[in-house]
A and B are shown apart, each in its own frame.
Chain A
Amino acid sequence: MYKNLRWKLLTVIVVFVLLFSPGIYPLLAHKYHLPIPGWLAAKQLKLGLDLKGGVHLVLRVQTDDALTIHTTTTSEQIREALKTAGINFSSIRVTGPTSFRVEGVPGDRDQEFRRLADDQTATTYDRNPVGGGSYDFAMKPNIANDMRDQAVTQAQQTIDRRVNELGVAEPNISRYGQSNDQILVQLPGISDVARAKEIVSTTAILELKIVEAGPVSTQEALLEKYSGKVPEDMEVVQAAASSGDTGFYLVRKVAAVTGQDLRSAKPTIDENNQPAVAFSLTNEGSRKFGKATGDNVGRSLAIVLDRRVISAPRIEQKITSDGRIHGSFTTEQVNDLSLVLKTGALPAGLTYLEERVIGPTLGQDSIRSGVLASVIGLVTIIVFLLIYYKLAGVNAIFALICNLVILIGLMAYFGATMTLPGIAGFVLTMGMGVDSNVLIFERIKEELAADRGVRAAVNAGFGRVFWTLLDTHVASLISAAFLFQFGTGPIRGFAMTLTLGLLANLFTSIFVSKTLFDLELSRRTAATTLSI
């Protein structure tokens, strides 16, 4: 009857040791200055902002960038519209983040021009004549304010996505300051602050543009063909320092596709075994990309990231949905690049205003009282279980401690961050752990009262309660899964702890506790009494 007991015991011990080492051991080693191997130290439980503190960063969003992009786009739209209508003009240029000027509109087409311009801009720009067929367009102040506000909100969301992708659990990200263009980012103790800062502030505006000329080593040489002047629908872009080749490209101003057309991006290896970024496009993006590449077979396509050309491969054939970005990248650069492309571009550049180390928000005093309270609670429960269930109480306590060890070990293993809300998930798990044992023991008592034999009563108790435990745990797991999938920040942290705790609890209350009972009963030849 108890022939599998040895294997069950072995399983319990192996699981215990396996999860004790990443979870509890580093904590003890830290406290008592014991040696700790590096691979264990790397895996140890991380503490959140509230328990350990972290880095405090203040960023300014260059909201002017976002406005300049809008103003440029609008002026280009007017250029297109004027061309289509056949209205001549001498120039259109952007004069500031919120303004552009159209010069030299012929007098006889003036009325037509005004109607056309108003169609495009009346709701967003004020139009002021400056004489001689020239007009200044200035963005309406309230629109500009809204747009700045929107840029900051978008930046905040993008930063949030990126920090989450980095695997930093539960950062604090909020608006900061009166000027309304600053963002406060607090990250819990992460090892590589420099990399996190780099990833947070990469603008990551990706544009794929058809190359008209280049690469050539100087700008003058590039523009020789165009009598030294950049044609109005083209622009000069420099090669990125990392791309290996230096020089200038003349590319079309309007991009074939941009980062907004991306569906996903992930790190990959190209045919030369070099790290590269594979991307796929949305339906709309594929259509645009297919047309641009189909029309330009044989020419080069510049991959422009943050206004620098990373590489410019030749278009061999029409490409639609998928592509790859090459360059001389390291593996880490490829990982970071796909992360920022996947999480979307920032609407504007960011600058760091402040960087400080901050202490835990809970404070040493609060953490001390929290630990004290938990210990008091735990000890009271242990004493109670011992008095009420006598020897069986020892089983329950061992199962409970095992549960704790497994949970902390799993959390360390999966890189979960321990925060106060996470500890709340902990409390629920411990509560359910006690509950599972109480359920089983009460059932065994009932079976004993019905004059069953001890062994039959234990087996029946575990057997009947198994289905109850399964239902309660699966229901909680389902709700944890939803919280994890759709929640953010602390809610995810809670769901993660809860999930791991529920799994640990199922194992300890059903498997570990039963094994202990079996162990106890197997030593006796005739079991007639049970201390419960």
Chain B
Amino acid sequence: MTQQMTRNVPAAMPRRAPGEPGVWAFILTEMMIFTALFGLIVWNRGHHPEVFAEGQSLLSQPLGLINTVVLIMGSVSVVLAIGATQADRYRNASRWLTVAMVCGVVFVAVKGVEYGLVRHHGAWIHTNVFWMLFFAVTGAHLIHVFVGTAVLGLIRPRTARGLLGARDNDLFVSATCYWHMVDLLWLVLFPLFYLVN
């Protein structure tokens, strides 16, 4: 019986990371660096709860929430772009990538407004440990949003042409994975800075 079942099981497909496997060396290292930064935030929150509470009171939760929704919309667009390429609708995929890039630009703009508001309140990296971490970590994340948007911009023309190159499909999926990483990092940063008290 067991032998019969074993015989009927199809040979296992080789498991493979999405996109170009080597890109995961990049993505995982980035995630480790951010994990260290998250640990730093949590550790300092534990040691300076009143400083964090005071800093958090100056942050605009609606702006943080808008940016969260914007990045999630970007990720949904990227998922739709992947679906479109799988259906050989490369023009559609290219349009979805454009939508994701617009989300990236909106995120940067909202972040600029938010930085302006907290600067207006006199907060800066030297004010206290909360603002040091806020500007340094969200600034690092902002650079990643820039890079993610630029990477989508680089792969978009190739996508529109049908991902014809030998490595184009892997690079396309890798670019989308990077975008998801940027989104995921914000989904941790948002509660750490704006919600957890």
Q: Do A and B assemble together?
A: no
